[in-house]
Amino acid sequence: MRHFRTLLAHELRSAALSWNTWAAGGLFLALMGGIHFFALIEASRAPSDRTPVESTLWFFWLPLLCVLPLLTMRTFAEERRSGTLAALLTTPASATAVVWAKFLSTWIVWVVFWLLFTLFPFLAVQRLATPSDARLGDPSILWGGLCFIAISGLLHVAIGILCSCVTRSSALAALLAFICLLAMTAAGGAMESLPIESWEWLGWLREPAAHLRTFGHLQDFAAGILDSRPIILYGTGTLLCLGLAVLSVEGQE
């Protein structure tokens, strides 16, 4: 535990001083700021069932695919390439402590990015809201959506960490993470859109499709519905990915 705390503090400090984090943060804020800006414009043009915040959060997949791989790609791949991971493992610190420290620090950075995003709705409310625009300032959708992003982010970050563990190339790690996250985000939606009901031989896919409906989870959280199933899905998926990452680090020779 002592090693974990030391490593976590080191990883957070490294993340704060890394140009990579600042570049990813800039890209994230530019993307989400732009999306929120267009969501506000769209909301001013025509009535909609969705608030601008809800519409913006609906695009969470964009930073997930474009920004998160930038955060996770260097965690292990770069250290494996330079040999500093092997040097780290010559100390009594365990591979588990190393993996969890890198995972948690990356997740914290990811959550901090999303907390910074709340500035956009806050500024919109400050500048644009009138008493009749109660929903523009409704925080429940924003915080519900952010809870989803924080919880699903555990698995998303763990996938990125695992991808970084299996290669020495940061670029390849980012590409692998992009593909895995795209597959995971799109899988539920794709399966939902398939006419599974009419294809008997695909009947076994109904259950997994119901569990993997990522956008459905976002909708539920934003609506304030707290369902334990996605929490268990993201929690167990995170543990599985991190377990594999530990095995990968321990097995590196």
Partner 1 sequence: MNEAAPLPEAAVVAEKLTKRYGSLTAVEDLSFSVAPGEIVGFLGPNGAGKSTTMRILSGTMSGTSGRATIWGVSVALDPAGAKRHLAYMPENNPLPEDMRVEEYLTLRARLKDVDPSRVGERVRKVMDDCDLTRRASGRLIGQLSKGFRQRVGIADALLAEPRVVILDEPTIGLDPHQILGIRDLIRSLRGKMAVLISSHILHEVEQVCDKVVIINRGRLVAQGRTEDLRRELLPEVSFTLVTRSDEAALLAACRTIEPAAFVTALPSADGWSTFRISLPTGSPARETLASALIAAGISLREIAEDRFGLEDIFLAATRRTPGESRRS
Under the binding rule (CB under 8 A), the answer on residue 23 touching partner 1 is no
Distance from C-alpha of 244 to C-alpha of 96, rounded to nearest angstrom:
10
| 6 secondary structure, DSSP code | H
Residue 46: φ, ψ to 5°: -145, 150
CB of residue 86 vs partner 1: minimum separation in angstroms? 5
Distance from C-alpha of 133 to C-alpha of 120, rounded to nearest angstrom:
16
DSSP letters, 160-192, are HHHHHHT-S-HHHHHHHHHHHHHHHHHHHHHHH
Under the binding rule (CB under 8 A), the answer on residue 3 touching partner 1 is yes
Chain position carrying tokens 């957070």: 12
- DSSP 3-state assignment of 36? helix
Q: Could you tell me the two tokens for 126?
A: 């400050």
Under the binding rule (CB under 8 A), the answer on residue 18 touching partner 1 is yes
Give the range of 80-88, 124-132, 154-162, 227-235 binding partner 1 by CB under 8 A: 80-88
Show the beta-strand stretches assigned E in 125-243.
none
CB of residue 100 vs partner 1: minimum separation in angstroms? 14
CB of residue 106 vs partner 1: minimum separation in angstroms? 17
- C-alpha to C-alpha distances, 227 to 58, 86, 217, nearest whole angstrom: 19, 42, 8
Under the binding rule (CB under 8 A), the answer on residue 86 touching partner 1 is yes
Under the binding rule (CB under 8 A), the answer on residue 48 touching partner 1 is no
Under the binding rule (CB under 8 A), the answer on residue 16 touching partner 1 is no
Q: Which of 94, 96, 169, 219 binds partner 1 (CB under 8 A)?
A: 94
Under the binding rule (CB under 8 A), the answer on residue 116 touching partner 1 is no
16 vs 225, which CB is nearer to partner 1? 16
Under the binding rule (CB under 8 A), the answer on residue 84 touching partner 1 is yes
Q: Which of 16, 23, 30, 87 binds partner 1 (CB under 8 A)?
A: 87
Give the range of 4-12, 21-29, 113-121, 195-203 binding partner 1 by CB under 8 A: 4-12
**Nearest 5°: CA angle at 148, between 6 and 159?**
55
19 vs 201, which CB is nearer to partner 1? 19
Q: Which of 48, 73, 82, 118 binds partner 1 (CB under 8 A)?
A: 82
CB of residue 12 vs partner 1: minimum separation in angstroms? 13
CB of residue 207 vs partner 1: minimum separation in angstroms? 41
Q: Please, is 31 exposed, middle or buried when counting C-beta atoms within 10 Å of its C-beta (0-12, 13-18, 19+)?
A: middle
Under the binding rule (CB under 8 A), the answer on residue 27 touching partner 1 is no
Long-range contacts of 199-206 (CB under 8 A, 24+ apart): none
Residues binding partner 1 (CB under 8 A): 2-3, 6-7, 10, 14, 17-18, 82-84, 86-94, 253
